[in-house]
Amino acid sequence: MEDLKKIIREVPDFPKKGILFYDITTLLYDPQAFRRVIDILAERYQPLKPHKIVAIDARGFIFGGALADRMGVGLAPVRKKGKLPWQTVKASYELEYGVDEVHMHKDAVAKAEKVVIVDDLLATGGTAHAAIELVEQCGGEVLECAFIIELDFLHGREKLKPIPAFSILRYDQ
């Protein structure tokens, strides 16, 4: 996986001073690297036979859409407030200075459907935890949450328990 890490651009002081931002756009520029990421995810989740991939706004859509297509399953988007045109379920999560919420169409996941939640990055776990809540409100079952990058030092996977988490690349600082 070190070869994939070398492709990720590290941007210091973005979006604010003191933050080291892991930019996945450089991975997207590289078709072999992008294909490898989707291969890794598909090999992991094909045996679990999920009914849908639930992808988190916005970069999760890139990986979730490609994975859903590769696996031949549906895609259910989790969006920020005010972005979906029909009836939704909602879940809130904490930000550094306040609270935000995500929404999903209430018919995006049917009762007893098994899903994998996909996003580009696991940091504190707030958004992924909210996505788990959305799936559960619809009566679905989350098999696992998948991420391209995990920032171990923020302990986000603790917030997802008992749902397991899988990350292709992990950083401890």
The CA-atom distances, in angstroms, between 78 and each of 17, 23, 75, 105 are 29, 21, 10, 8
DSSP conformational letter for 97: T
From the candidates 59, 70, 79, 170, give the one annotated as an active-site residue. 59
Residue 136: strand pairing partners:
none
Q: Give the orientation angle of helix 59-71 with respect to helix 31-45, to 10 degrees.
A: 60
Distance CA 91, CA 99 (A): 10
From the candidates 2, 35, 36, 96, give the one annotated as an active-site residue. 96
- Whether 78 and 56 have beta carbons less than 8 Å apart is answered as yes
Residue 136 among the catalytic residues: no
DSSP conformational letter for 73: -
Residue 170 among the catalytic residues: no
User: What positions carry a catalytic annotation?
Assistant: 59, 96
